[in-house]
Amino acid sequence: MVIGIDIRVLGNSIKSGIEEYAENLIPLLIKEGGDIKFKLFYSSSKNKLPDYSWLKEKNVELYKFNYPNNILFTSSRFFNRPCLDKMVGGADVFFFPHFFISSLSPECKRVTIFHDLSYLHYPEFLTPVKRVWHNLQMRPEWQAKFSDKIISVSESTKKDLVNFYKIDPARIEVICSGITTSNVPRTFDVANSSDVVNIINFKREKNLPDRFILFLGKLEPRKNIVGIIKAFNNLKTDPKYKDVGLVIAGAKGWLCEEIFKEADGSNYRHHIIFTGHLSKEEKFLYYSAADVFIYPSFFEGFGFPPLEAMSFGVPVITSRNSSLPEVVGDAAVLIDPYDVVELELWITKILGDKKLSHFMVKKGTKQASKFNWKDAASKTLEAIIKA
């Protein structure tokens, strides 16, 4: 059997959820399918593909092209050409880790991942260019209807595919993602005295406060960072929290100007730290050092950061919407993302109650252990083969 995989998302220098998904899943697919030939399609006129070691596996053939992807997208949309399976010398089935619009020959089956349909729920959170890209250029509804199999990363996304695109539920398989901490040794163990010293040294090196609240994700309206800053402003009016800081970690996304405007206007702006994009190793250091992790997003197809934070022993507050309740289970505090007072209240409860914090850490590490990339890869490979 020959499986083609579109790996173009891996050319992005800044890894958000979809890129992390592909980067963790694909090498395990290749390992699981030892007797299967994998033909990987990559094209970019400007982004260089990282030199992954798994690209050199015996069952892997890499096909690299320098065509601008906007041209490939436009050609696929209007002319249904070029066929990716023909460009790699033939494939029985093609797997798409994201809904990049792509043409295939009639004899080649298509398996497409849908991470979320947030662009339909909250179009106002996208720039006009992004709205055009999602709804017109990529044509996700067309791709969903013509995929032989759809993989959804959550029951929430499956429900959206059925409701918005009228997809037969039998064609959709829910396979939850893993979390990236399974690949990287935990940097700190709070039960180990020497690691506690390492945490202190890390905070000193980064000029972090003794206690801090952490958010990690792309800086865009959907993540509700403005609401986070408002809740932090309320919190800081209480002298008990004068030593508490807010760390906002992640790369700038679209329409992020309002976030910085809110931070600049805060009376406590000197207690708000923007880290910018973090490497995989850096973000795990921040998780380990944080006192509470907050992720009051308006919408998520899966939501990696809350689970990652749990796996590093951090109590988590997140939203009771979209996929988040099914992902975090009963191991996190679920709040209304529009209710700044509720968010502030739960931050103060966790910061002020060590027993509650320890209870949440115990529940969180157990919940996070349910998600791993090996299981996700095994189930995904099976779904591709059966397509």
pLDDT digits (tens, 9 = 90+) for 27-83: 999 999 989 999 999 999 988 999 999 999 999 999 999 999 999 999 999 999 999
> From the centroid of its chain, how far is CA 80?
30
Residue 194 has pLDDT above 60, yes or no: no
Q: What is the mean pLDDT of residues 87-112?
A: 96
Tell me the domain boundaries of the chain.
Answer: 2-178+373-386, 180-368
Which has the closest alpha carbon to 67: 42, 98, 39? 42
With DSSP H G I counted as helix, E B as strand and the rest as coil, what are the percentages for the chain, rounded to 5? Answer: 50, 15, 35
Question: Which of 285, 325, 309 is closest to 368 using CA atoms?
Answer: 309
Query: 340-352 and 354-368 helices cross at what angle (nearest 10)?
Result: 100
Contacts of 153 (CB under 8 A, 6+ apart): 21, 113, 114, 115, 116, 174, 175, 176, 177, 301, 302, 323
281: confidence class by pLDDT, cuts 50, 70, 90? confident
CA distances from residue 232 to 244, 314, 341 in whole angstroms, order as listed? 9, 18, 10
The pLDDT assigned to 185 comes to 40
Alpha-carbon gap, residue 160 to 386, rounded angstroms: 23
pLDDT band at 197 (very low <50, low <70, confident <90, very high): low
Distance (Å, whole) CA 285 – CA 300? 24
Residue 178 has φ and ψ, to the nearest 5°, of -90, -170
Can you read off the two tokens belonging to residue 54? 């798994």
Q: Is the pLDDT of residue 182 over 60?
A: no
Average pLDDT over residues 5-9: 97
Phi/psi-derived region of residue 365, left when phi > 0, alpha when psi is between -120 and 50, beta in every other case: alpha
Give me the pLDDT at residue 199, please: 79
Distance CA 51, CA 74 (A): 28
Average pLDDT score over residue span 271-293: 92
pLDDT greater than 70 at residue 189: no
What is the average per-residue pLDDT within 220-246? Answer: 97
Instruction: Quote the pLDDT of residue 295.
Output: 98
Place of tokens 């308006």: 298
Residue 192 has a pLDDT of 52
pLDDT at 184 over 70: no
Class of domain 180-368: alpha beta
DSSP 251: -
Q: What percent of the chain has pLDDT over 90?
A: 83
The arrangement of secondary structure in 2-178+373-386, i.e. its CATH architecture, is: 3-Layer(aba) Sandwich (3.40)
C-alpha dihedral over 295, 299, 300, 305, to 10 degrees?
Answer: -10
Q: Is-same-fold flag (2-178+373-386; 180-368)?
A: yes
The mean pLDDT of 296-318, rounded to a whole number, is 95
Does the pLDDT of residue 88 top 80, yes or no? yes
In the predicted structure, residue 188 carries a pLDDT above the cut 70: no
Please tell me which residue, 199 or 329, carries the higher pLDDT value.
329
* Residue 290, pLDDT above cutoff 90: yes
The rounded percent of the chain whose pLDDT value lies above 70 is 95
Q: What's the mean pLDDT when you consider all of the chain?
A: 93
Average pLDDT over residues 9-18: 83
Yes or no: say if 115 and 293 are a contact pair by the CB < 8 Å rule.
no
